[in-house]
Structure 1
Amino acid sequence: MLPTHDRYDYHAWPHRAAYAWPGGARLAVYLGVNLEHFAFGEGLGAELAPGGPQPDVLNFAWRDYGNRVGAWRLIELLEETGFPATVLLNSAMYAYAPALVAAHRARGDEIAGHGRTNSERQSVMAECEEHALIADCTAVMAANEGAAPRGWLSPWIAESRVTPDLLAEAGYRYSLNWCADDAPVWKRTRAGRLLAIPYPQEVNDIPSIVARKDAAAQFADMIVDDFEERLHQTRDGLPQVMGIALHPYLVGQPHRLRQLRRALSHLSSRRDVVWITTAGGILDHVLSLPAGTVPGS
């Protein structure tokens, strides 16, 4: 027998229960906007060009453009196209760019946990250290938002073997770490169930633009093609979730923002057949469904 995570069972796609999102839609779409802060001169971080010796000013400044400029341009685009957002927030952003977090709060966007900084990853931490990290991030966010976040995306999608357990024990209701499905699935933890909401590793600007070096138009086309194919697939009656992962230091660059505007405008024009929502909205709807509807329930 191969080692297993034992978090969920295999559920064949054609054998799933059919259900609808609000308004009878079969496709739910949400944007995951990553607001991230990085240590200067040390730690992890995406690279525009191969980094040299630290301090790596080129790549640090390129990422910081997202918080200083790109994220504000992205908010303008969200307003223009009428999209809500799930903000995946490093808790260090409260000290570094509080006005940016406040702008998303003023829009009514969902604020979800995304660790302390993307200069580190949870998967290399001892359980006590990871427990302390989650507790600290949660407390900081609760103090600033008036309520603890319900969702979590680990920096670098990095989990230890006990991350789902620690998240459930800390009161989280959903995780975006597992990209194993097109619809929500309940995962088992030692503290009860935790909803796995699909988060994209394909329609995600980091793998697309940083790893594969896709052009701005290619990434926009990917969004549109993914959307249209999912609409075609949902004719089988089974609901799907389409997430779009965005990082302001990438899509906030003017030439990419123009192409993203084209893609989001296309999606917005189809509101009559899709549900544009947040990850938290998906959680709320799943919680309203009869037991046994969603795998693992």
Structure 2
Amino acid sequence: MTLPSHDRYDYSPIAARPGFRWPQGKGLAVYLGLNLEHFAFGEGLGAELAPGGPQPDVLNYAWRDYGNRVGAWRVMDMLDALSLPATVLMNSAMYDYAPALLEAHRARGDEIAGHGRTNSERQSTLSETEEAALIADATARIARAEGRPPAGWLSPWIAESHVTPDLLQEAGYRYTLNWCMDDQPVWMRTRRGHLLSVPYPQEVNDIPAVVARKETASGFAMLITDTFDEMLEQSTAQPLVMGIALHPYIVGQPARLRHLRRALRHICARRDDVWITTAGAIADCFASQMPHPERTPETDQ
């Protein structure tokens, strides 16, 4: 029996792959994916603290907006205190809504990655032409503000059409965070070349953990520390990537922030044993050591 396939990558057991290491011979790379999102008022999609009523859903809109007004600034203070970099996964609408927040992350030197225009929409519901325009709009807005286009992309709601990887590669993206099938970067095929998949977590991610599974603040912190300790042990055999996906309207709430700080301090205590970095640096390091065997100057354009 032959099942329908995406044909983006082949099966590869992690125990049978060629070896490589992260900088300074380290086995575990850790990055923080900080989602900065803006939502339409009275329409569109959005995570819910409680079941939403008829629009305008003021409760859930205001809860999400707390992240941009308060939570993101508290998270940034914590990252500064712990000397931690971040990959900022940003809706391009944030440039018009909260420019001061983006200026602060730019001043920190954080990586800015594409995250659509707004999390009120899914690109998977669009035609190919419309989806290409969405990617182009978000990319151009980031490039104007940051002086260069982003290297990485995370779709709002991790929503893809059948051609999303093709469109990202054609738009100049070097890596995607949409696929959570591995603990190492994986080269993906597209119709005009190759795109690197960098692991982005759906377990160590506050939306599935807190919003969907109703994990407590302490439980989410334990999920982070237990994952870190286990992956650090595993990384003696194979180099691994641990991402931590955060949304300030969730983890920026005071009680959750306190437990998150404890978990990140646990990771920082092993700073000499791991590579704490950004998703883009992980993509570049992997590509330099493990280039796709079929890559050519033509397919990289």
Partner-residue secondary structure (3-state), 1:17? coil
Partner of 1:284: 284
Structure 1 292/188 Cα, relative in aligned 2: closer, same or farther at 3 Å? closer
Task: Encode CA deviations 1:14-61: one digit per residue, 9 max, x unaligned.
Answer: 101111100111000000000000000000000000000000000000
Q: Which residue of 1 aligns with 2:298?
A: none
Q: Distance in 2 between matches of 1:214 and 1:287?
A: 36
The equivalent of 2:269 in structure 1 is 269
TM-score, normalised on structure 2?
Answer: 0.96
Q: 1:242 is matched by which residue type in structure 2?
A: M
Q: Does 1:215 align with 2:236?
A: no
Counterpart code for 1:276:
I
What is aligned with 1:2?
A: 3
Name structure 2 gaps, 5 residues minimum: 294-301
Unaligned runs of 5+ in 1: none
Counterparts of residues 27-66 of structure 1 (less than 5 Å): 27-66=28-67
Deviations 1:137-188 (A, max 9, x none): 1111100000000000000000000000000000000000000000000000
Matching residue of 2:146: 145
Partner Cα separation in structure 2 for residue 110 and residue 247 of structure 1 = 16
3-state SS of paired residue (2:29): strand
Q: What's the CA shift for 1:284?
A: 1.4
Task: Tell me how far apart the structure 1 counterparts of residues 153 and 232 of structure 2 sit (CA, whole Å).
Answer: 27
Query: In structure 2, the residue corresponding to 1:18 is in which secondary structure?
Result: coil
| C-alpha displacement of 1:291 | 4.0
Aligned to 2:231: 230
Where does 1:145-164 land on structure 2 (aligned, <5 Å)? Answer: 145-164=146-165
Q: Distance in 2 between matches of 1:9 and 1:290?
A: 16
Name the counterpart of 1:82: 83
- Rounded to whole Å, the distance in 2 between the matches of 1:132 and 1:223 is 36
Mapped to 2, the partners of 1:191 and 1:84 lie a distance apart of: 33
What displacement does 1:64 show? 0.1
Q: Supply the AA of the counterpart residue of 2:263.
A: A
Pair 128,291 (structure 1): closer, same or farther in 2 beyond 3 Å = closer
- How far apart, CA to CA, are the structure 2 residues paired with 1:289 and 1:19? 7
| Mapped contact 2:116–2:154 kept (Cα < 8 A) | yes
Alpha-carbon distance, 1:235 to partner: 2.2
Q: Which residue of 1 aligns with 2:92?
A: 91
| 1:204 CA drift (Å) | 0.1
Q: Structure 2: how far apart are the matches of 1:50 and 1:85? A: 31
**If the length of structure 1 is used for normalisation, what is the TM-score?**
0.97
Give the alignment's Cα RMSD to 1 decimal.
1.3
The CA distance in 2 between the partners of 1:87 and 1:290, in whole Å, is 25
Deviates more, 1:282-291 or 1:223-232: 282-291
1:250 corresponding residue in structure 2? 250
Segments of 4+ moved more than 6 angstroms: none
Tell me which residue corresponds to 1:239: 239
Identity of aligned residues (%): 70
Q: d(CA) in 2 for partners of 1:24 and 1:14? A: 18
